[in-house]
Structures are given as structure tokens and as C-alpha cells.
């Protein structure tokens, strides 16, 4: 069994496509197929179910995946040790983040990492399934680090450090009838259409918990995974929303209401795996994070 075979296996398992895996590895597809067939012969079992429509892991493949990742991580750690002795860090860091959430100046962070360690390869993934998706990717090993919002009870297997806490404020259009009031209760909002993030995003969970605790049913009319788009929809009268204070501050035409006996706060975290030893490349990135946290 060769490391190259395991690398090809992981790529196919994560992409669920031989074509995408080959593109990711910068090799021809026949090379990926040959490596997988060779690995299956050595192990004496099929690792993937292949049809003309899809590629899926078999039970044996699913069992191999975490072990294959651990093996490559151990090999990377060995390379890191040699690189550290030569003052040259190498490796790959898989980073996950949420779009339009400016908790960390990510371009500046990654730029400084590249300037200091140009041999480190960074792969960036913006969330398509919110913080829940980023957390799952951390647990599965698809990501090495993620900037995300976690619930009060953090998932087992994830180490998280709070970077910032942002107040969520109730925003309405300046022309909305509620804008004439100084304060409302959650019960007053039961009939209002809301603009919110889809389920799985941390800010959506904070608001959902507050309404559930108050026993108030609310109607989410529009779901958008972008803070600035949500603020713009509110500004044009398409609903009301609990938005981060920084988003309201940069969006004209919004009115903020006090909510009686309710204080909603949205925490941003730096998440890493608690079960995998960080590589030297990941440590180099983590050492720079605090320099790029944005004051909200």
C-alpha cells in the first residue's frame, strides 16, 4: 500500500467522482482509476460502488477513509519535522469559513501565511451549509480549521475558541409600521414575515432558540445565506430580521427596535479537530489568527 494510493482514494471518496478527483490531483483520470483498482486488489475488496450515475463508498471504503486520512497525516507530520529542521514549512491546510461574516480578515491572514511560508498550500472552502456543514467537515477530516459559529454545547471532537461575540438586533425598514415603536416583545412579531439564514447557520439557531423559549411561532418568508443580502431585503420592506449590528450599521434605510427582555448574541469561533494532531502548516496558520481578528 502506497501513500499515493491513499491520496487518490481520499480524493475520490471526498469528491465522489473520479473526474473531479483527477482534476483536484492534477493527474489523468486513468491514473486515479488504476491507483484505486490496485488498492482494491491489495485489500481484497471493493472500496467504491460505481455506476454510470454515481460513485459511492462501500462499507469497506467508509471504514478505510478515517484510517487513510490518519496515515497521510502521520506522513505529513514526518515531513513537517524534517521541514522544521530545515526552516522550510510545507504541507496543505484546508480552511473553511462563512461568506460575508467579517470576523477575521481572511485574505490578509492567508496572505501573511503565504508570505512567511510560501511552500504551504491553502485550500479555502466557503460554507454552503452554514456552520453545521463546516463542523461536519471538521469532524470528517475534510477541513483542518474552520471559522464558524457553534452552539452552546459544542460537538464532541471539535476544539473551539471564541473569537468574537456580536449582538443581533431587530431591524425593520424605516417605512415599516413597527418603526414607529421604540420597543416590542417577541410575541408582537408572531405575524411578521422574517428574513433569515437557512437552518444550519449559527445566527439562525440563536434566533430560533429565542422564539422557541418564548413559545412564539414565527414565519421565515425568505432564507438567504448572505448577511448583506438579508439587510437589503429588509430595507426594501420584504420582511424584518435579527441582524448582526455591524450589518445594520453599513446598510442605510434600516430602523433598529429594542426587544423587551431579550438579548441575542451570536458567537464566532475558531474550530479545529480535537482528535487529530495539528500539522506544522496548520500551527503556522493558527499562530497568525489573532493578528487578523476584526473588531466588530
pLDDT for 262 equals 86
pTM of the full predicted structure? 0.69
CA dihedral 178, 180, 183, 187 (to 10 degrees): -30
Q: How far apart are CA 235 and CA 255, in angstroms?
A: 9
Distances in Å between the Cα of 245 and the Cα atoms of 140, 165, 171, 236, 257 are 33, 11, 9, 18, 12
pLDDT tens sequence across 209-258: 999 999 999 999 999 988 889 999 999 999 999 999 888 988 899 999 99
**Element containing residue 94 per DSSP (H, E):** strand 91-97
Mean pLDDT over each residue of the chain, to the nearest integer = 89
pLDDT tens sequence across 91-114: 889 999 987 677 889 999 999 999
Counting Cα atoms < 13 Å in the Cβ hemisphere of 172 gives 17
pLDDT tens sequence across 156-169: 889 999 998 889 99
Contact 40, 8 (CB under 8 A): no
Q: How far apart are CA 271 and CA 94, in angstroms?
A: 12
Q: Which domains does the chain have, with CATH numbers?
A: 1-72 (1.10.10.10), 164-267 (3.40.190.10)
Amino acid at each position: 500500500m502506497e501513500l499515493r494510493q491513499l491520496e487518490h482514494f481520499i480524493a475520490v471518496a471526498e469528491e465522489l467522482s473520479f473526474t473531479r478527483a483527477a482534476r483536484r490531483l492534477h493527474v489523468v483520470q486513468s491514473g486515479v482509476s488504476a491507483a484505486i483498482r490496485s488498492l482494491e486488489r491489495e485489500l481484497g475488496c471493493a472500496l467504491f460502488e460505481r455506476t454510470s450515475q454515481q460513485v459511492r463508498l462501500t462499507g469497506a471504503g467508509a471504514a478505510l477513509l478515517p484510517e487513510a486520512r490518519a496515515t497521510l497525516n502521520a506522513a505529513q507530520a514526518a515531513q513537517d519535522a524534517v521541514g522544521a529542521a530545515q526552516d522550510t514549512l510545507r504541507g496543505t491546510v484546508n480552511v473553511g469559513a462563512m461568506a460575508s461574516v467579517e470576523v477575521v480578515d481572511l485574505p490578509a491572514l492567508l496572505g501573511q501565511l503565504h508570505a512567511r511560508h510560501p511552500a504551504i498550500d491553502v485550500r479555502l472552502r466557503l460554507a454552503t451549509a452554514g456552520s453545521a456543514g463546516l463542523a461536519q467537515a471538521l469532524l470528517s477530516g475534510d477541513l483542518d480549521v474552520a471559522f464558524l459559529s457553534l452552539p452552546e454545547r459544542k460537538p464532541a471532537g471539535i476544539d473551539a475558541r471564541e473569537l468574537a461575540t456580536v449582538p443581533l438586533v431587530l431591524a425593520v425598514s424605516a417605512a415599516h409600521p413597527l418603526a414607529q415603536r421604540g420597543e416590542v416583545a417577541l410575541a408582537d412579531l408572531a405575524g411578521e414575515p422574517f428574513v433569515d439564514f437557512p437552518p444550519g447557520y449559527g445566527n439562525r439557531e440563536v434566533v430560533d432558540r429565542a422564539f422557541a423559549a418564548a413559545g412564539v411561532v414565527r414565519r421565515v418568508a425568505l432564507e438567504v445565506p448572505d448577511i448583506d443580502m438579508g439587510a437589503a431585503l429588509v430595507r426594501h420592506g420584504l420582511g424584518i430580521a435579527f441582524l448582526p449590528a455591524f450589518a445594520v450599521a453599513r446598510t442605510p434605510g434600516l430602523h433598529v427596535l429594542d426587544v423587551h427582555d431579550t438579548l441575542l448574541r451570536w458567537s464566532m469561533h475558531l474550530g479545529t479537530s480535537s482528535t487529530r494532531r495539528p500539522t506544522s502548516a496548520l500551527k503556522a496558520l493558527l499562530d497568525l489568527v489573532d493578528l487578523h481578528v476584526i473588531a466588530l
